[in-house]
Amino acid sequence: MKKSMALFAMLTSAFVFSTEVVAKEYKEIRIATEGAFKPYNFKDTNGELKGFDIDVANDLCKRMEVKCTISEQAWKGIIPALKVRKYDAIIAGMNATEKRKKAIGFSRPYAIAERKFYVREDSKYAGVTSPMSFVDLDEITAQEQAVLDGLKKELKGAVVGVQAETILEAFVKKYMAEAVEIRTYDSQESLDLDVESGRLDLGFASASYLLPLIKDGKKFKMVGAGFAGDIFGNGISVGVRHEDKALADKFSAAINEAMADGTIEALSQKWFGFSLKPAQ
């Protein structure tokens, strides 16, 4: 009887402790962002984190009535840091891909964007075109396959840069590896510098990342079709640990509110000049 009572007391104590931890976590949430992916997330001249992701994070936290701290974390270590509880959530322009879903959980999407190849304006690849502006990789039609085959032919032998350990790298390896040489970079900023200097033939990035750069005067040009679906996942979402599904649900509810009242649309226009709002 004494052993049963002692076991009951231990289980009760563990439950109370667990509940307190969860409650405390939802009162103060530690968010990781990359800080090197303008205009999603970056540091200004004062070293402060700015961008679309930062504004979205602050808005969601306000709706959830929680205190949030947002910290910079290198992309390569961002998921491992979440899993070892250095952070409670990731808001960093991260797409909810099937591969990532095996490692962590996600909220509903708060943004959607297609990806494109880009070059320096005077590049020999600046004239690459496509009969289609967009290719959905989920169900590739004969016409879309022809677009992919044509692109591989036009880029044969080119050196293409991508940020390492991203879905951009996964796309180029899956769909373009037989045609191009792939060079990986630790950050998108470093990749851009090599495209700009001519050390790299092409880069590959989100159109929502590229358009503001071009608008601000970068001498880049997007070429070929845009790509979405398949390994690019369901959209840009908040990443959490699998066991924190309740936290993902809270973020999803806040995102639904932010979409309904026009906040996501307004922040998209502010940072990109066009809408990244997902389907309701």
Q: Return the C-alpha torsion angle 276, 27, 35, 251, nearest 10.
A: -20
Pairing of strands 105-111, 236-240: antiparallel
CA proximity to 202, closest of 253, 151, 130: 151
Q: Where are the alpha helices (DSSP H) in 71-135?
A: 78-83, 98-103
Which residue ranges form the domains of the chain, and what is each CATH number? 23-112+235-271 (3.40.190.10), 115-232 (3.40.190.10)
- Asked whether residue 228 carries a pLDDT value surpassing 90, the answer given is no
- The predicted pLDDT at position 233 comes to 85
Handedness of CA 93, 95, 101, 103 (dihedral sign): negative
266-278 confidence digits (pLDDT tens): 999 999 888 888 8
**What distance lies between CA 7 and its chain's CA centroid?**
45
Mean pLDDT to the nearest integer, 43-56:
97
168-209 confidence digits (pLDDT tens): 999 999 999 999 999 999 999 999 999 999 999 999 999 989
- The secondary structure of 125-179 as a DSSP string is TTT---S-SEEESSS--HHHHHHHHHHHHHTTT-EEEEETTSHHHHHHHHHTTTT
For 53, 55, 120, 121, 271, the CA distances from 117, given in Å and listed in that order, are: 23, 27, 11, 12, 21
Mean pLDDT to the nearest integer, 134-147:
91
Whole-angstrom distance, CA of residue 172 vs CA of residue 131: 20
- Asked whether residue 26 carries a pLDDT value surpassing 80, the answer given is no
CA proximity to 60, closest of 1, 25, 107: 107
Handedness of CA 164, 40, 180, 140 (dihedral sign): positive
* Structure-model confidence comparison of residues 36 and 275, the more confident one: 36
CA proximity to 42, closest of 106, 92, 95, 113: 92
- Asked whether residue 7 carries a pLDDT value surpassing 70, the answer given is no
Strand order in the sheet with 49-50: 36-37, 41-43, 49-50
- Percent of the chain predicted with pLDDT > 90: 77
* Structure-model confidence comparison of residues 279 and 260, the more confident one: 260
Mean pLDDT to the nearest integer, 71-98:
96
